Amino acid sequence: MHHHLLQSLRLCATGSNPVPGKTLHAHILKLGLDQYGALPNTLISMYSKHGLIKDAHQLFDEMPQRDPVSWASILTAFNRANLPNRSISIFPNMFVHDCLQPDHFVFASLLNSCAALNALHLGRQVHAQFVLSAFSSDDITKSSLVDMYVKCGAVDIARAVFDTIRLKNSVSWTAMISGYARSGRKSEAVELLRDMKVQNLFSWTALVSGLIQSGHFVSALRLFVEMKQEGIKIVDPFILSSVLGASANLAALELGKQVHCLVTKLGFESSLYVCNALIDMYAKCSDIIAAKITFRYTIKKDVVSWTSIIVGLAQHGKAKEALALYDDMILTGLKPNEVTFVGLIYACSHVGLVNTGRDLFKSMVDDYGINPNLQHYTCLLDLYSRSGYLDEAENLLNTMPFEVDEAVWASLLSACKRFGKTQMGIRVADRLMGIGVEDPSTYILLSNAYAGASMWENVAKVRKLMVVTDVKKEPGYSCVHLGKESEVFYAGETCHPMKNEMRVLLEDLDEEMRKRGYVPDVSYVLHDMGKQEKENQLFWHSERLAVAYGLLNGVPGSVIRVVKNLRVCGDCHTVLKFICSIVGREIVVRDASRFHHFKDGKCSCSDFW
């Protein structure tokens, strides 16, 4: 009887419906066997696997006599329910109330809790207890130690523990590879993978995904290709979502499309997190239409799906669509998260919907209990600044409960220049001088603000500071994507094989632009040189070279897509508006701030970025 009930309970735990398990529990109660043998611990496990943590905890509390298995079961239940704090908080009762010592299963569960909480100090204490216990040689617990140290960023300690494991399992290998990869220690991660006798999808996923998290996108993609060549079967789609993330960060649209084809071929198009990664990839690769299509065909959408498309539309200047989708999302019963509101307030700033933006900010706090972070305040500031509500913007900066950095003050200073608020501009400039300036573009804003107020002594002071602090602008580069081909250009590049063709094209465009009223804005050149030399510097900016190359080599009539590592300078922004009008082509630029869709002589950012 007892054995039959145990087997039935374990079978109930594997199903998706908790009702059979509850019915069996009722039958066990009628038989009076609820505290017999392994039944109570198995019941706790069954309830936790169905997400019924309250039932599991109640059973645990009602047990007249608990053993280490009971404790391991309830700690695992809390971890499975994403409540690691509860595991940590009740653990002392194992000593105080039950007078028990933890076994290797309890240690492993506690270490999983520490890993989830990123609680390195607490994890070290558990490690010390483990070393002093009778289970100190247990390899399973050591694997949990490796995982905990890796997730807490203590990779070298993790390796020291890893080296003591006699029989290393795939969990310990995968955790260690992931630790090296996520820390950016590429060679050590790759070497460890090569040392594995049997490599599987999960060890490769740990390597590829970890390198993507640490910013080694190109290396990760090469390793993904190598994994495919090694014949590793992709039976889990997580690695595909990671590769899509790398494609998004590199703005590699063609690569993202190829991965999308692979997703379809392998039958993972119904995977929710793959669909979400596809939406994000297409949006970040400037193909917002494909992002919308992917969203539309995502069958079961969650808050990440909705937020991804809302943020994507907002970044591409499609504010009305973003706000309409938010209304649709609310009608489905889903609750927005912090990122949703960042996208919504950002969208409002593109069309000057100040009241709507304020209402959303208020709703976030009052209706959804979300505490605004710095990004929310920055988006609200952007909304005020773009719409000319500069007094509100300045008041917000002075009252927000966060330390305001250089970029935020510089944004307000830029708005002051745009709306002719000279005196406020001086106040903001003085604040910037007080907190210290590092970004070269901020020095330009400061110099122009003081020059506009005829405060020449301050202009000289800014220039002197630039010399004293040896301000060096990060080298600007732009990458143009032409199908499977891409080309990278640096500002002032002189050795490209097509330099002469690009120069001739840019000179022809420059001549036509001047006929249409273009005047180079040399204030964006920091160097002390003559006007003609400054114009020549602007002429060879990387985004212009990238666009020229795209016009010469791209498919006629196709969209020219450029990614720039820095913010587009104001003069190049003007030039690209002229060029798109002259050649009748759409140009999409993703810079460090946002997307710029240049079409018919206008930009989607409305000249504020």
Report the C-alpha gap between 68 and 88 in whole angstroms: 15
Mean pLDDT (whole number) for 168-178:
94
Cβ atoms of 203 and 173 closer than 8 Å: yes
Q: What is the CB-side half-sphere exposure of residue 288 using CA atoms within 13 A?
A: 18
Higher pLDDT, 25 or 414: 414
Higher pLDDT, 56 or 378: 378
Instruction: Give residue-wise pLDDT tens across range 508-531.
Output: 999 999 999 999 988 777 566 778
Calculated CA dihedral for residues 284, 183, 169, 132, nearest 10 degrees: -140
pLDDT at 526: 57
Report the C-alpha gap between 415 and 441 in whole angstroms: 14
- Rounded percentage of the chain residues whose pLDDT exceeds 90: 64
Q: What is the CB-side half-sphere exposure of residue 393 using CA atoms within 13 A?
A: 29
Cβ atoms of 18 and 52 closer than 8 Å: yes
pLDDT at 418: 82
Nearest to residue 248, comparing CAs of 214, 213, 216, 286?
Answer: 286
β pairing state of 587-590 and 602-603: unpaired
pLDDT at 471: 60
pLDDT at 32: 66
Higher pLDDT, 275 or 408: 275
**Which pLDDT band, with edges at 50, 70 and 90, does 119 fall under?**
very high
Mean pLDDT (whole number) for 335-343:
96
**Which pLDDT band, with edges at 50, 70 and 90, does 8 fall under?**
low
**Which pLDDT band, with edges at 50, 70 and 90, does 305 fall under?**
very high
Inform me whether the pLDDT recorded for 405 exceeds 60: yes
Instruction: Report in angstroms the alpha-carbon separations of 165 from 76, 144, 145, 181.
Output: 23, 11, 11, 20
Inform me whether the pLDDT recorded for 464 exceeds 90: no
pLDDT at 43: 76
- Domain spanning 304-403, CATH class: mainly alpha
Output the DSSP codes for 33-66.
-TTSTTHHHHHHHHHHHTT-HHHHHHHHHH-SS-
- Candidate from 397-401, 517-521, 533-537 with smallest mean pLDDT: 533-537
pLDDT at 525: 72
Residue range(s) in the chain whose domain bears CATH number 1.25.40.10: 304-403
Mean pLDDT (whole number) for 408-416:
88
Cβ atoms of 114 and 126 closer than 8 Å: yes
Instruction: Give residue-wise pLDDT tens across range 192-226.
Output: 999 998 899 999 999 999 999 999 999 999 999 99
Inform me whether the pLDDT recorded for 10 exceeds 80: no
Mean pLDDT (whole number) for 3-24:
67
Report the C-alpha gap between 373 and 489 in whole angstroms: 36
Mean pLDDT (whole number) for 20-27:
66
Mean pLDDT (whole number) for 435-457:
84
Phi, psi (rounded to 5 degrees) for 481: -105, 125
Mean pLDDT (whole number) for 316-322:
91
pLDDT at 561: 94
- Tracing tokens 């993790």 back to the chain, one arrives at 158
Inform me whether the pLDDT recorded for 472 exceeds 70: no
**Which pLDDT band, with edges at 50, 70 and 90, does 12 fall under?**
low
Mean pLDDT for the chain overall:
89
- Rounded percentage of the chain residues whose pLDDT exceeds 70: 92
Domain spanning 405-468 has what CATH number?
Answer: 1.25.40
Report the C-alpha gap between 261 and 267 in whole angstroms: 10
pLDDT at 34: 60
Mean pLDDT (whole number) for 275-298:
96
